[in-house]
Structure formats: C-alpha cells, structure tokens
Amino acid sequence: MTGTGTGFDLAVIGSGSAAFAAAIAATTKGKSVVLVERGTTGGTCVNVGCVPSKALLAAAEARHGAQVADRFPGIAASASPVGFPTLISGKDALVAQLRAEKYTDLAAEYGFEIVHGTATFTGEPGGPVLEVALNGGGTRRIEAAHYVIATGSAPWAPPADGLERAGYLTSTTAMELDRLPESMVVVGGNAAGLEQAQLFARLGTQVTVIEALERLAPFEEPEISAALEAVLADEGIAVHTSAALTGVRRDETGYTLTATTSHGGKDLSLRAEQLLIATGRRPVTAGLNLDAVGVKTGPRGEIVVDEYLRTTAERIWAAGDVTGHPQFVYVAAAHGTLVADNAFDGAQRDLDYAALPRVTFTSPAIASVGMTDAQVAEAGIPCDCRTLPLQFVSRALANRDTRGLVKLVADARTGRLLGAHVFADGAGDIITAATYAITARMTVNQLAHAWAPYLTMAEGLKLAAQSFTSDVAKLSCCAG
C-alpha cells in the first residue's frame, strides 16, 4: 500500500509513546504511516502523566528542601508560600515544549500523518477499515495493511455511594487546579496516589491518604511500606490503611467522606476541600467497535494479545497500556517498536519482563526490579534476603538523611540475585545497576566484588551484597 488517499502500510489509533514508537519504527522501514488521535497529541506521559507530575514533584521537593535545610549545621531553613498559578503555568509551558519536540515535530521530521478525530473499526469483506469522525467535522475512511491499537489507559474510580455525583480529582485534573487547596484526601496508596499526596503536602496542603489494602505501596516489600509510612508521618501526612471508601458527599465548602476499616476499628469520617481518586487506571477501548472486527478484550477491558502483541483479529495489533501489560511509558515504547518488527519483518519477537524496573517518585523514592521476598517463596525457591539500612551508606550520612533501605533477594542455593528493592534518594538511578545485574544473572557475591564509586547512593547495592557474608558495620568507609 501507499500513503496516498486512504491506503497506508500502518494505521495507529493513538499518539502516545506506543503509537509514536510504532510509527517511527515503521517509517524507518520505509512504510507509510498514519496516526489517528481524538485528543491532544502525545498521549498520557507528556501531557498528563510523567512529565507534568515529575516537574511538580521536583518543585515540591525544592520547597521541602528549603524547609529542612537546617539539618545541615550553619544553614537556616525557610520557604515562602507557593505561587501556585505561576507554578502550574511553568509546568504547562514545559509540557508544551516537550510535546512539540518529542511528538508533533517528530511526526513532521519522519513524515507520517496525524489525523485528529475519533476512529471506529468497521468489518468489511476485504478486512478491517477505520472510519474517522474528524474533530473539525466530516469523516475520513482509512485502510491499512496493519493496524495498531495504542489508545492507552485512563483513571479508574472504585464504586462508592455518591462518588460520581459529587465529582472528584484524578491524578490528571489535580495538576490543572488554579488554586492550592487547603486540605485534600487522596484515595489510593500506590504510586500515583503517593506521589500526588506528597506533592500537595509539600506545597502546603493538609493531606490524608486512605488505602484499601493493609499497607501503603502494597506491592513493594513490607520494609519499604513501613519506612515510607514513617516518612509521610514526619511530613504531616495522615495515613489510614485497610480502609475502603464507601460514601462521598459534597457541599459548597468541600467533601465529607466515609470509609470502612477491615481491622475492626471504627469507620472513618473525613472532611476535606478536595478529593483525589488515585486507585489505578484501566485500558481505553470504548467506542472502537472491536466486536465488529473480532478483537477480544479481557475482564478489565484490556485487549487480548499473544506474546507478539497480535490481537485475535488478523492484521490488528495492540501496544502499551491498552494491552493490560505493565503500565510504564518505557514498556509502551518497547511495544510499539516490537509491533513494527513483527508486522513488517515477521520477527516473532517478544519481551521479557523478568527484569523490568519500576519507580515511585516519592522522596525518598521507591524503586524495585525482579522478585519480592514473598514471590520467591511462592515460587518454591529457597530465599536468602538481606536488608541494609541507609545508615550504613556513607552518601546518606553525608546528605544527613539516612531514611531508607536497600533489600536484596537471592536464591539461597546459588546466590543468584533475584530481586532488588530500594527506598532512597535517587532510587530510580540506583535500580538501573540492579536491573543489569539481574539481567546478567549475577550472584550477590559477584555484586559484592563489583566496582562501586565511593560516596554514591549506588554503593548501597554493593554494601547490601556484602552483608550476605560480612558485618558491614565493621567495614572501612569505602566498602573494600
């Protein structure tokens, strides 16, 4: 097929990371490509996810740093009130800049088209076709040799009496407020909820977090959950775990919430100016008319794909969050390239998620890769684990901030590193080294004897590995 008229080699629904990766990879192979986007070009990450949230988190951390600077002798601590509208305006400017540089300008550079409208599949004798209701009016018919569904995910809210009627903030809309709220309840104690809770608390909002499961960061190691809860408590954030939201009422001054606790305590009644629901995201597939072309979806709306990201319909692929695979932008980008290779080269390539790292950008940050202690036990593998408090890491001592830990999980039979879990300043950078170690099938003994530059937080990995055989309290300062 050619890119003229209605026919293309590849038509992609969506314009986020998965879509652009597929488009760039296909264009590089000499294929004609069109993207269909019903909203803003760039998808979740650049517009309402990674970029704006991390920009605001960095600003909040800068303000918090000024408030606690007196931990260093001779340094006074002070922080002025936040100019919130100006802060949000600066965030918006950064988003616009990166949207142009990393998305719209790239489309022009690679030479693929972006059509702004809502795409719907139609099943026809010759195969699937896209009917696009253009945003400016009218329709356009698009035929392609291959199609990729890369429509991403959207915030999901749990059922609670009165919630939909009352309305609420999501991790997207919270970053669009034009005034800093005096108080806020955040429902959800996983990555997005934790980041937003600490962000607003550090800017000056009184924040309460409620989490339905028994601990914050429930999919991380319990040692990290406990350390994180202590950090949030020190920063004045109230936390209620094992608490499920049951009712929401709203009046002209704010919200009244009720939550049922599962540990036998009294039900909660909370009052706040704003309510932020951060209980996860679900794939976006509504309105695509997938049944007409034989694309099956799973129980959470995810598109069912095989290991090569083929859907149940010939010539239709899916990539990114919409597949129900791990919801990380780097997974979405890898998916997009994978689809192009498999669709046009017959590569039959798949992805290995065993050493997939994840980061929660709290402060200190949480980063993990590989298996947890519990997962190793569930797999029937004899586990050998060590947890190193940051008080034994010289960089943390120099920073005068020893909040955090490094936990390594190993196979007790072979010493092979199976998991690494970090709660520390710069954890997202530290975990990259652990990712390489797990990918290379290194043992903790090999990690203990690897080079590690002194006075870095990453030295904590080496020290944690050394703790399998040594008392690190008795080592010299450079973990020799």
pLDDT mean over 179-205 = 97
pLDDT value for 1: 45
DSSP states of 202-256 as a string?
HHT-EEEEE-SSSSSSTTS-HHHHHHHHHHHHHTT-EEE-SEEEEEEEEETTEEE
Distance of CA 66 to CAs 61, 71, 134, 306, 361, Å? 9, 10, 49, 50, 19
pLDDT for residue 408 is more than 60:
yes
Please report the domains of the chain, with CATH numbers, ordered by start residue: 7-154+282-345 (3.50.50.60), 163-279 (3.50.50.60), 358-471 (3.30.390.30)
Secondary structure letter of residue 451 according to DSSP: -
Label residue 6 by pLDDT band (50, 70, 90): low
DSSP states of 287-309 as a string?
TS-GGGGT--B-TTSPBP--TT-
Digit-coded pLDDT (tens) for 255-297: 999 999 987 667 899 999 999 999 999 999 999 999 999 999 9
353 exposed, middle or buried (CB, 10 Å; 0-12, 13-18, 19+)?
exposed
Secondary structure letter of residue 97 according to DSSP: H
pLDDT value for 4: 41
Q: In whole numbers, what is the pLDDT of the chain averaged over residues?
A: 95
pLDDT for residue 5 is more than 60:
no
H or E element that contains 410: strand 405-411
* Bridge partner list, 226: none
Q: Which residues are within 8 A (CB) of 346 and not within 5 positions of it... i.e. 6 or more apart? A: none
pLDDT mean over 20-26 = 98
pLDDT mean over 107-112 = 95
Digit-coded pLDDT (tens) for 40-96: 999 999 998 999 999 999 999 999 999 999 999 999 888 889 999 999 999 999 999
pLDDT for residue 2 is more than 70:
no
pLDDT value for 80: 86
Label residue 198 by pLDDT band (50, 70, 90): very high
pLDDT value for 447: 97
Calpha distance 113→115 (Å, rounded): 6
pLDDT for residue 155 is more than 60:
yes
pLDDT mean over 438-455 = 96
pLDDT for residue 480 is more than 90:
no
Select the more confidently predicted residue: 473 or 281.
281
pLDDT for residue 3 is more than 50:
no
The residue type found at 411 is: D
Select the more confidently predicted residue: 478 or 9.
9
* Bridge partner list, 188: none
pLDDT value for 126: 83
Label residue 371 by pLDDT band (50, 70, 90): very high
Is residue 419 within 8 A of residue 386, CB to CB? The reply is: no
Q: How far apart are the first and last CA of the chain?
A: 62
Percent of the chain past pLDDT 70, that is, above it, reads 98
Label residue 412 by pLDDT band (50, 70, 90): very high
pLDDT value for 202: 97
pLDDT for residue 471 is more than 80:
yes
Residue 176: CB atoms within 10 Å: 13
pLDDT for residue 348 is more than 90:
yes
pLDDT mean over 343-348 = 97
Calpha distance 467→225 (Å, rounded): 22
Is residue 19 within 8 A of residue 43, CB to CB? The reply is: yes
Q: Which residues are within 8 A (CB) of 35 and not within 5 positions of it... i.e. 6 or more apart? A: 11, 12, 13, 14, 15, 19, 20, 23, 107, 112, 113, 114, 115
pLDDT mean over 22-37 = 98
Taking the whole predicted model, whether its pTM rises above 0.75 is answered as yes
pLDDT for residue 474 is more than 90:
no
111-115, 370-374, 469-473: the lowest-pLDDT one: 469-473
